[in-house]
Structure 1
Amino acid sequence: MCGIVGVVGKAKAAPLLLEALRRLEYRGYDSAGIATLVDGDVDRRRAEGKLGNLVAVLEREPLAGTTGIGHTRWATHGAPTERNAHPHSTRRVSVVHNGIIENHAELRGELEGRGAVFETETDTETFVRLLDDLLANGLDPRAAFSAALKRVQGAFALAAIFSGYPQLLMAARQGAPLAVGCGEGEMFVGSDALALAPLTRRIAYLEEGDWAVLDGDGVAFFDLRDNAVERQVVVTAVSGAVVGRGNYRHFMEKELHEHPAVLGDTLRQYLDPKTLEVRLPRLPFDPAKVSGLTVSACGSAFLAGSVGRYWIEQLARLPVHADVASEFRYRNPPLAEGGAAILVSQSGETADTMAALKLLREGGQRVLSVVNVPESSMARESHGALLTVAGPEIGVASTKAFTAQLAVLACLAIGFGRARRELSTLDEGRLTQALLEIPGQAAQVLEKDAQVRELAAVVAEARDVLFLGRGSLYPIALEGALKLKEISYIHAEGYAAGEMKHGPIALIDSLVPVIALCPSGPLFEKTASNLQEAAARGGRILAFTDAEGVAPLSRFAERVIELPQVAEISTPILYAIAVQLLAYHVAVLRGTDVDQPRNLAKSVTVE
């Protein structure tokens, strides 16, 4: 994920910004830049590649000034070049940005119609040009920033400095984390407190929808409606564990709330918002020529691969065999000559999946890995790798890494469908647009936190829980059950809803909650019928659905939570967030160790 830093201070800004950016290198990046106010005017330095290149630029062309912003960019939309590197600037304003502005194409057209000239294809520049337009029309920075925020949609974190205002920095967050550091006569912003740790121990966190005005004397916080709000300043410990958790109770809670930003960063690697096309890097095999695919992984990663199987078979009409790596490696399956495989892993070091990789390579298969760690063994040893941009995931139970894997697999499925001529350009555009809307929709799911917490109170009292789903939501039912088992220690099982009457219905009574994943669509009536069978036998139906499903399910369900009404391809990702959030709240109510559940490790590197 991108890294953002900013400073309004007394000392020279450039060295402080560089040190903070170094502490954000763990996020991964391929270009970097800083901008400062020099004699009241915006000046900047940028460089492709690692921070060392930026340091070299600054040694040749130093930057003065005590107010500035910095950024490490992971190239998504637009090549990793100096031209596309942040900060993006005009003579009036300079901005750094993490996330995605979903309506940038609409805004770009509007601004170009008023004479704006764009230099890049990035969505970030749209916000910069919008701010510049508002400033040119007489608004002061505070009014312009507020007005611009009300025009943009999506998940983002932003920081901006303005020409002529040498002691002013403004910041905002929506679906992407941002922290404010408080010093003596100086203020700071950063993507997380880790970046700010050398500068200050006094940290405040912007809440969802917040924006902030910083100057040398302090910070003022405002909510979406421009009401002044108070945000607690806490004194952080030096250790990375405490700093990294921010003001969340657990790493898992923090990582759940990073879904929008992670999904935006990941999707932007593979989708072109302007042309609504999937832009996959060079693959190690031609999806138009392979006769079938093998998908293998472990744990939640396998469930992500299982959803990918549904998507690839449906959209690309390409047969897919999915198998857990621990079984696949010992089953000695026959491998088709010239076949291909997709492996999925967060760490890229999982022992069983690595063994499956070895078996596949020895069998002449071309292997593509979906992985979160670019320097991992799996990424290095595969014929090709597609990276998720989930950043470090500290909680043992995978959350944001899982949905990032789903995002990559969805892009692959669309790309394969186009390559095999099963999808038209119109189909690709429709599906791509649906994926681009997911970060904002993920933020809407997280807004259901209070309702999910009430649901968790019911589930926390149970000894056994059933999760039901159909189609691509069947693996999400399995994911919900897995998460609940992992962190709350409640026995839970996931089933394809149609299979309930073939055995599991014997378990149902008034003590067994049934968690239903039931969005409207072609399978709604069938799933609702299965749920009615459970309700007739005393089952407690707790349903996640959308606006169309609320009324019919409310006739027999004890509780119904309404999630956003979205395209079919989007439902597994959003419903995954909902069941993860449910598992988290159940675990908190039961008092278990949420981040480090018993007997589990983050990366299983032994057999």
Structure 2
Amino acid sequence: MCGIVGAVAQRNITPILLEGLKRLEYRGYDSCGIALHVDGELKRARSTERVTELERQIASTQLSGFTGIAHTRWATHGAPASHNAHPHFSRDRIALVHNGIIENHDELRDELKALGYVFESQTDTEVIAHLVDHLYTGDLFETVQLAAKRLTGAFAIAVFSRDEPHRVVGARRGSPLIVGIGNGENFVASDALALAGTTDQIIYLEEGDVVDLQLQRVWIVDADGKQVQREVKTVHAHTGAVELGPYRHYMQKEIFEQPRAIADTLEGISAITPDIFGDQAFATFRKIDSVLILACGTSYYSGMTAKYWIEGIAGVRCDVEIASEYRYRDSVPNPHALVVTISQSGETADTLAALRHAQSHGMLHTLTICNAATSAMVRECALAYITRAGVEVGVASTKAFTTQLAALFLLTLSLAQVKGRLNDEQEAAYLKQMRHLPVAISAVLALEPQIIAWAEAFARKENALFLGRGLHYPIALEGALKLKEISYIHAEAYPAGELKHGPLALVTEEMPVVTVAPNDSMIEKLKSNMQEVRARGGELYVFADGDSRITSGEGLHVIRLPEHYGALSPILHVVPLQLLAYHTALARGTDVDKPRNLAKSVTVE
């Protein structure tokens, strides 16, 4: 979601801030802005369009400076409008940007209005700017520490003062913030990718940290106000990964990167062993009697898929919870459960909060499946498996999902091994299948021309149903999510056996019904469900395996996947659903990579 970049330097930092915003565009945003210290004054530019428009605006005014902050905003408080865009000023003395949500903003707003502050926006962020100005002691670092104690909620902020050139102060609680170390210059950002090409020396601030950035020093205090040293890590952000290349959109590029992403994620796996999850994994897996998966959105659907694997192959009970719901209900803690979090960014606010909730109830066996090795999720879990999907720019997740599935299947096999349910012959067979996945996915991608033809028909619809059974029900859910995310077609998914319990009432010739039909033990039951649709005039679009004996006919369209892939079939079957969503959105002319109202990295609750 929102992105922060800030800098203090002895050179013009405007290009650095703008480039940082461009690198953070993949998160999604609806406005952007920049503020600079210029000849003893605060100057800013803001836009409700893309960063390129902001760049043109700045070029026309020749705005430049040595100290400044920049931001991409995803609206929470107040509509996407210039007056709500960051940075926010207070009395032309304080400039501030903010990620997160301040829960006590209403009471602070009332307090500050009574002190004479005039609000120009509907944002909770402007409250922080005025609060910092009100508390300002002449020492910005000291003031931000005071202000942070008054804030309830999640935040990452970067702020500078007209009265203190060459100084930027940052603070974080619940939202990520990093520091970049340069030579006679220092930086702050919400993501190391923002500083790629500028510095690879990165400090990951911890919960409650406040940082003082000056030209020659970085000073950090913790939540108790004690000076602390945080480790400086060398982080190589792969800037080339965000180049579009020959593809029309990042989503298309990322769909076609899945064979490589899967291969990278499985690289070096020559045998099934718990050690791939950490040194203590074997001992942990022996202790646990169940698995609790916490995740949101697409990651939640990968967890739902893993439930079938973990219970069916490893024989371990598995519960899957939507992270944003889990922490707010009265659950029964189990200290012998393995708590598994799944997150592409490792900074998903709801999932982090759910993890901490579980830990607070004595559930300390924790593991994360994550695409960001330096994220908060990895730091806060005892065990981890890092997927290697690379940077995923498109808001609608594709390669992050399939690499999560690959990692979760490895977890399943490791649990099965520890629990005595995986013999050498089975291990060898599964490893062979996993090594063949990149080739198998490439064969599915070759079906794109057939899927494009279907997409032309889908583009004229406003509603769609997705059906799956067993292991492929979560894949139907993921397919429906992709279609609604980027094409804005209303789509729902159901277990196919539930059709007659309500959804069948919606079926007409105007309601396409997409069916995931692998040739597994449920295929005959699924065929019966498909007949229920045909009998009511519904139009079926079926992704079937080559040997499933489902043939095209009136009201029945079939695309055959090259091979049945057993337990790993979900990883193959989701790929054509991604392509269907992409080409349908393309035909409808939507903004594929930046769908309306959505953000890539959800760092607020």
Give TM-score, length-normalised by structure 1.
0.59
Question: Does the Cα contact within 8 Å between 1:541 and 1:556 map onto a contact in 2?
Answer: no
Write out aligned runs for 1:169-568 (5 A). 244-269=243-268, 271-272=269-270, 280-282=276-278, 283-284=280-281, 286-365=284-363, 366-549=365-548, 551-555=549-553, 558-568=556-566
Question: SS at 1:330's partner residue?
Answer: coil
**Distance in 2 (alpha carbons) for counterparts of 1:431 and 1:279:** 18
Partner of 1:156: none
The within-5 A match list for 1:59-70 is: none
Counterpart AA for 1:333: S
Aligned AA (2:256): H
Alignment coverage as a number of residue pairs: 369
Letter of the 1:355 partner, please give it. A
Contact conserved, 2:466 with 2:513, CA < 8 A, in 1?
A: yes
d(CA) in 2 for partners of 1:412, 1:557? 41
The runs of at least 4 consecutive aligned structure 1 residues that moved more than 2 Å come to 240-243, 275-289, 551-558
Q: CA deviation at 1:552?
A: 2.8
Structure 2: distance between partners of 1:303 and 1:462? 25
On the 8 A contact 1:410/1:569 being kept in 2, the answer is no
Q: Verify the 8 A CA contact 2:242 2:391 in the aligned structure 1.
A: no
Q: Partner residue of 1:580?
A: 578
Shift in Å, 1:290: 1.4
Deviations 1:342-373 (A, max 9, x none): 11000000110000110111122111000000
Residues 1:555 and 1:424: Cα distance change in structure 2 (over 3 Å): farther
Q: Once the 2 structures are TM-superposed, how far is the Cα of residue 558 of structure 1 from its aligned partner? A: 2.5
Cα pair 1:338 1:364 within 8 Å, conserved? no
Report deviation, 1:521. 1.8
Does the aligned pair in 1 maintain the 2:396–2:600 contact within 8 Å? yes
Specify the SS of the correspondent of 1:311.
helix
Shift of 1:428: 1.5
Deviations 1:495-524 (A, max 9, x none): 111111111000001000000000112111
Question: Could you tell me how far apart the structure 2 residues matched to 1:463 and 1:512 are?
Answer: 8
Contact 2:290 2:336 in 1 (8 A): no
Residue identity matched to 2:277:
P
Q: How far did 1:600 drift?
A: 0.4
Where does 1:107-118 land on structure 2 (aligned, <5 Å)?
none
- Shift, 1:412, TM fit: 0.8
Which residue identity does 1:326 align to in structure 2?
A: S
- Partner of 1:280, secondary structure, is helix
Unaligned runs of 5+ in 1: 1-196, 199-239
1:462, 1:490 within 8 Å by CA — same for their partners in 2?
yes
C-alpha distance in structure 2 between counterparts of 1:305 and 1:567, whole Å: 19
Cα distance in 2 for residues equivalent to 1:279 and 1:555: 51
* CA distance in 2 between partners of 1:289 and 1:470 (Å): 32
Instruction: Label 1:541 to 1:570 Cα distance change in 2 as closer, same or farther (>3 A).
Output: same
Secondary structure of 1:560's counterpart equals strand
- State the one-letter code of the partner of 1:396: V
What is the rounded CA distance, in whole Å, between the counterparts of 2:360 and 2:313 in structure 1? 30
- Contact map agreement 2:305 2:471 (CA 8 A) in 1: yes
Partner of 1:591: 589
What percentage of residue pairs aligned between the two structures are identical?
43
CA contact (8 A) 2:540 2:557 kept: yes
Q: Measure the CA separation in 2 of the matches of 1:243 and 1:349.
A: 20
How far did 1:553 drift?
Answer: 4.0
What displacement does 1:556 show? 5.8
How far, CA to CA, are the matches of 2:532 and 2:356 in structure 1?
46
Aligned equivalents of 2:497, 2:554: Cα separation in 1: 18
> How far apart are the structure 1 equivalents of 2:285 and 2:535?
47
| Distance in 2 separating the partners of 1:369 and 1:557 | 44
- Does the CA-based 8 Å contact 2:277-2:384 persist in structure 1? no
Shift of 1:243: 6.9
CA distance in 2, matches of 1:242, 1:554: 40
After TM superposition, give the deviation of residue 434 of structure 1 in Å: 1.1
Q: Render the CA deviation track for 1:168-190: whole Å, top value 9, x for unaligned.
A: xxxxxxxxxxxxxxxxxxxxxxx
Distance of 2:545 and 2:504 partners within structure 1: 25
Q: Which amino acid aligns with 1:498?
A: G
Letter in 2 for 1:602: K
Cα deviation for residue 286 of structure 1 reads 2.7
Q: Do the aligned partners of 1:276 and 1:429 also contact (CA within 8 Å) in 2?
A: no
TM-score for both structures, normalised by structure 2: 0.59
* Distance in structure 1 (CA, Å) of the matches to 2:241 and 2:294: 35
Superposed CA RMSD:
2.3
Deviation of 1:464 after TM superposition, in Å, equals 0.8
For residues 426 and 391 of structure 2, the distance between their equivalents in structure 1, rounded to whole angstroms, comes to 34
Amino acid at match of 2:508: D
| Post-superposition CA distance 1:552-579 (Å, at most 9, x none) | 3435652111112133122100111111
1:293 positional shift? 1.0
In the alignment, the residues of structure 1 paired with residue 300 and residue 354 of structure 2 have an alpha-carbon distance, to the nearest angstrom, of: 13
